């Protein structure tokens, strides 16, 4: 089973934007950095993989499930259960505590409700959040990022998509943060596809996919 396989993906938008990914796959637990010039479609590709947007042509399969063929609630449910997402601005739910952010994520998955609390606490502790009841908007940027990573892993996803996860951090913290993300994904057996415009991150990944070249294909 591959964590991700893409074949013949095509998307064109008005204004001349074109995204073309003939073939791309990620093995289970594999980690890769996705690079492209600004406006090159990195975020769009992540959204397509997560099923938040639809391609014009081609197929996207996550954990052997063709997400591009799923519709409506089935697709939303599949995304919640199999894909974790980490954003540049974290996109945590404000007004909710750290642990509640994880609980909301698990609420939409098939993880048994009785295990939610324990799992959320364990994940947060593992990622160094010692006050799980704290409201996320009162946390430091570094802590918020840890909560975001924990939330992405809460439902035991096959694939974690990270969209510029270090863009709001300074270089030293960025290195720590990417290390944390990579280790957490490895520990939980999730594949990681990470986008960044920061060349210094290349050193952290054994595989770099450049959307601007044919090397994307494999």
Partner 1 sequence: MTDFTIVLRSLSLRRFSTTVTVTMVAVSVALLLVLLAMRDAGRAAFRRGTGNAHLLVSADTSPLVAVLNGMFYANAPSQPIDWAAYMKIREAFPWSWTIPTQLGDSFRGSPVMATSKEFFTSFEPVLGQPWSFVAGKAFEAPYEAVVGAEAARLHGLRVGSELVLAHGVGTASGEAAHEHEDHPVEVVGILAPTGSAHDRAIFTSLETGWCVHAEESRLKEAGAANPGEDDHGHLHVDPEDLRDSEKLITGILLRVPTRPGEQVSSALPVAFDLLRRQFPFTVAQPAQQVGRLFEIVSGVDTLFIAMAVAVMVAGALSVMLALYNSMDLRRRQVAILRVLGASQGRVFGLVLAESAIIGLLGSGLGIALAAIFGTVASAELQRRVGLVIDPTMDLRTIVLCTAAATFLACAAGIVPALRAYRTAVVQGLRPLG
**Shortest Å, Cβ 206 to partner 1:** 28
Q: How far is the CB of 45 from partner 1 (least distance, A)?
A: 12
Residues in the chain: 218
Q: Least distance to partner 1 from the beta carbon of 156, Å? A: 13
DSSP class of residue 1?
A: -
Q: Which is nearer to partner 1, 53 or 126 (CB)?
A: 53
Two structure tokens written together for 42? 């990195």
Residue with Cβ nearer partner 1 (39 or 95): 95
Residue nearer to partner 1 on the CB measure, 31 or 109: 109
Nearer to partner 1, 106 or 191 (CB): 106
CA distance 218 to 24: 6
The residues that touch partner 1, with contacts defined as CB under 8 A, are 47, 50, 52-53, 72-73, 76-81, 85, 87-89, 91-96, 100, 103-109, 116, 151, 155
> What secondary structure letter does DSSP report for 215?
G
- CB-CB neighbours of 195 under 10 Å: 26
* Cα(172)–Cα(152) distance, integer angstroms: 23
Q: How far is the CB of 213 from partner 1 (least distance, A)?
A: 25
Considering the complex, state which of residue 23 and residue 89 has its C-beta at the smaller distance from partner 1: 89
Q: Contact, 8 vs 59, CB < 8 A?
A: yes
CA gap 215, 218 in Å, rounded = 7
**Least distance between partner 1 and beta carbon 194 (Å):** 16
């Amino acid at each position: 089973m591959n964590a991700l396989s893409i074949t013949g993906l095509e998307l064109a938008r008005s204004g001349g934007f074109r995204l073309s990914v003939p073939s791309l796959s990620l093995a289970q637990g594999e980690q890769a950095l996705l690079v492209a010039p600004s406006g090159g479609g990195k975020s769009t590709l992540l959204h397509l993989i997560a099923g938040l947007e639809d391609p014009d042509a081609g197929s996207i399969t996550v954990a052997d499930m063709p997400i591009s063929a799923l519709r409506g609630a089935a697709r939303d449910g599949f995304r919640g259960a199999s894909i974790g997402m980490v954003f540049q601005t974290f996109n945590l739910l404000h007004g909710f505590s750290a642990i509640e952010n994880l609980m909301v994520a698990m609420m939409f998955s098939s993880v048994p409700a009785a295990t939610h609390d324990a799992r959320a606490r364990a994940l947060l502790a593992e990622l160094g959040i010692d006050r799980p009841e704290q409201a996320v908007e009162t946390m430091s940027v570094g802590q918020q990022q840890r909560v975001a990573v924990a939330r992405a892993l809460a439902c035991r996803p096959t694939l974690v998509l990270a969209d510029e996860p270090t863009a709001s951090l300074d270089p030293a913290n960025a290195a720590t943060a990417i290390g944390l993300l990579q280790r957490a994904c490895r520990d939980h057996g999730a594949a990681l596809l990470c986008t960044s415009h920061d060349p210094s991150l290349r050193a952290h990944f054994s595989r770099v996919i450049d959307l601007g070249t044919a090397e994307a294909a494999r």
